[in-house]
Amino acid sequence: RRNSAFPAFGAPLLAVADGTVVRATDRQRDHLSRTSLLALLYLMILEASVRDLSGVKRIVGNHVVLDLGNGTYALYAHLQRGSLTVREGDRVTAGQPLARCGNSGNSTEPHLHFQLMDGPDPDTARGLPFTWRGIGVPRNREVFEAPATTSQPA
């Protein structure tokens, strides 16, 4: 299906906290979703193998990495091509738009892959645990809207 069929495609992505942009790229294309069995097999067998051999940048697709301080980095992956509003070296504040949700890299449909990690390179960094404050995480096809806020997370 076309990316426009998914409500997440093109949604603004906001900085989780104050930080500095240490990586920012949005030149990779957004591809069609992979919702059929044949398309998923093609993605998993052929495309995923090629991306894996090409390195982490091809897996995470268009992405931004923020240095949040104290050895914590935030990765936003699978961003929409051409949607970055920041560049490497920019200082950002919590709630500031960074880019838009896309379908680049090793992705089956438009979504955001977000993670905290202990270094700026997604290929060598280790993931860090975190919890969302004030909102839950949807499960079992549950849909929710995060409350609109411009304040910094507590």
Look up the pTM and report it: 0.79
What integer is the mean pLDDT of 33-55?
63
Of residues 140 and 128, the one with the higher pLDDT is 128
- Quote the pLDDT of residue 36: 64
- Quote the pLDDT of residue 122: 93
Contact 37, 82 (CB under 8 A): no
The Cα 95–Cα 58 span in angstroms is 27
* Contact residues for 52 (Cβ-Cβ < 8 A; gap 6+): 58, 59
Closest listed residue to residue 75, CA positions, set 63, 86, 83, 87: 63
